[in-house]
Structure 1
């Protein structure tokens, strides 16, 4: 029995960043995963707040990887929307090897990208962004035999440990913190992508496939994550078996997601921190991966988001930052414009987009 929810087998057709050599321990800053009590009109921030919230972004490509291992570059855009506070957090770490004391000799490259969507405050999302990759580095396998099984155990243990560590800190405060956060984390080991997620943030892959009769290649959008909300049968049953209820599509009528980091008051009634895991091998047909919070996917379907990015990449000229190649300028513009368009379409929530280019 396989350990992962694998994607289909690949067909055989042929950010801005400040580069650092040390593993970061930092980050930053969502909207209402919990239903807020009787919000007044004054609570809505006047106008669309489009300023970017910068976070750790070590996304330059790693040119030390072995031949045949894809080059990844990450770009990020974050918008506050109409929220009073930016509660999203994110991290781009294209060379995670610096976080590990030892790495299996057969592993050439380790990369990590993640978006966290906080609710009830920004503390859970910030905590996860600052600590989860360090815990992952400590638990990463030291050997490559049965690597898939070991990576799965590592990811499951890392999410459990991060949740326990945050809940311990939250319960020690006066008053206790009640923050929670979704998590969508992408770990890339050479050419294999592992995605672990909780809640309703998503990861999607753009793969170009040949048309049947020798036509142009078409874009196929592949989901790399699975949403968790209490309206899903399995999630609702687990919550009800634990003594909880689901009202208006929310746990106890309040919490919109059924799995999260934090949310200590809901853990005893079936809200868990066990992620879903998916695995996918990257191929030369793959163009990019989008990681985004639900602020993006409230106004874009996964297919629409991928097509929007493709349109920017393929059409028109863009302004480039100093030192950027034309390709990098297009990816940067695609990431920023996607976030802007989500706000323009009326998303009042925080919007965070990570766009990871894939090239061989």
Structure 2
């Protein structure tokens, strides 16, 4: 298998005249989580001249909103690290910027999500490739795979030492920004999407499209179900043993021997001058919003000057609008009836 496969360019454009088809609603519940040899995908640009990749000039601003919803406990966790370069020893000269953003959605408790939020990026820093290399992509891939495996092993060791044993598990969706390249690693059903402006084929005018940066892992997917069944597990009512809704996760020690793994899917995406923002969110958001709807919702708040926003001290108008869009998106998910925890990270991209 090649290191990089092709990630198809999105063809659906969300606008008032044409809405992309939405995937069928899946049953949700308790979560837990895909593949011995994960797909590692790279976005290929169709027109490099028009895309105008601007290395080293990107400005990233991150915002977060978290809502407990109707749950008794907040089991989500998140991390915003817009600058990790200073804590890397002997960084490569190829790494002009290192940033990290992550959302973790816990189930059966909050201990796995909190552990991952506290420890995963430290393990990532310790394993990050040092010095210059011709194979930086391969080294970063290995670093991410090793980091997820180590984080899972460390949590399971701690969980098994408790009386009674912790049964917590967590999804993980992490975006590592190296210079102007996104590396996305994910387990479970939290998601990451990118808003990109593209030339319309008909009118020639630019339109915003939604590009998926992550892959959901649940036992209803054929490859996931086959792995679980080969390991001696069963899938009932769309869940592992009729209980666990995800097929890959950090934690969930009681399911690890029957095919629930901690190997993430990895994707690589070169940022371009046409990229607007990234959304990372737990499934609480996507129970009531399609990915395209989330992008359109943010665009409305950011672009429509008739939508009033409150500007915090030191914020520009643009920053205030992204901040407001993030907060309103999370609140709207709750208003639409999502009873789950909702965490949204919005990262604006400016060249």
Shorter-chain TM-score above 0.5: yes
Deviation at 1:215, TM superposition (A): 3.9
| Mapped contact 1:32–1:120 kept (Cα < 8 A) | no
Find the aligned partners of 1:185 and 1:34 in 2 and give their Cα distance: 17
Q: Which moved more, 1:213-222 or 1:79-88?
A: 213-222
Matches within 5 A, 1:231-246: 231-246=220-235
Deviation at 1:67, TM superposition (A): 6.2
Aligned to 1:13: none
Aligned to 2:112: 124
Aligned to 1:326: 317
Task: Extract unaligned runs of 5+ from structure 1.
Answer: 11-30, 36-65
Higher relative contact order (CA 8 A, sep 6+): 2
Aligned to 1:33: 30
Deviation at 1:285, TM superposition (A): 0.3
Matches within 5 A, 1:216-227: 216-227=205-216
- Does 1:75 pair with 2:63? yes
Find the aligned partners of 1:67 and 1:238 in 2 and give their Cα distance: 40
Instruction: Report the 3-state secondary structure (helix = DSSP H, G, I; strand = E; otherwise coil) of the residue aligned with 1:300.
Output: coil
Deviation at 1:124, TM superposition (A): 0.2
Find the aligned partners of 1:117 and 1:92 in 2 and give their Cα distance: 15
| Structure 1 residues 51-84: Cα deviation after superposition (integer angstroms, max 9, x where no partner) | xxxxxxxxxxxxxxx9643111100000000000
Which of 325, 346, 349 matches 2:340?
349
| Structure 1 residues 280-308: Cα deviation after superposition (integer angstroms, max 9, x where no partner) | 00001000000000000000000010000
- Does 1:274 pair with 2:249? no
Instruction: Report the 3-state secondary structure (helix = DSSP H, G, I; strand = E; otherwise coil) of the residue aligned with 1:116.
Output: strand
Find the aligned partners of 1:281 and 1:182 in 2 and give their Cα distance: 25
Aligned to 1:15: none
- Does 1:295 pair with 2:284? yes
Matches within 5 A, 1:199-210: 199-210=188-199
Which of 207, 212, 216 matches 2:201?
212
How many correspondences in the alignment? 311
- Does 1:139 pair with 2:131? no
- Does 1:195 pair with 2:188? no
Task: Extract unaligned runs of 5+ from structure 2.
Answer: 11-27, 33-53
Find the aligned partners of 1:144 and 1:307 in 2 and give their Cα distance: 40
Deviation at 1:100, TM superposition (A): 1.2
Aligned to 2:22: none
Find the aligned partners of 2:159 and 2:196 in 1 and give their Cα distance: 41
Which of 160, 163, 182 matches 2:149?
160
| Mapped contact 2:298–2:329 kept (Cα < 8 A) | yes
The two structures, once aligned, show a CA RMSD in angstroms of 1.8
Deviation at 1:220, TM superposition (A): 0.8
Find the aligned partners of 1:179 and 1:352 in 2 and give their Cα distance: 18
| Mapped contact 1:99–1:134 kept (Cα < 8 A) | no
Deviation at 1:104, TM superposition (A): 0.3
Q: Which moved more, 1:208-217 or 1:279-288?
A: 208-217
| Mapped contact 2:31–2:169 kept (Cα < 8 A) | no
With the length of structure 2 as denominator, give the TM-score of the two structures: 0.86
Deviation at 1:240, TM superposition (A): 0.2
Aligned to 2:3: 3
| Structure 1 residues 21-80: Cα deviation after superposition (integer angstroms, max 9, x where no partner) | xxxxxxxxxx95259xxxxxxxxxxxxxxxxxxxxxxxxxxxxxx964311110000000
Instruction: Report the 3-state secondary structure (helix = DSSP H, G, I; strand = E; otherwise coil) of the residue aligned with 1:257.
Output: coil
| Mapped contact 2:191–2:281 kept (Cα < 8 A) | yes
Which of 74, 87, 93 matches 2:81?
93
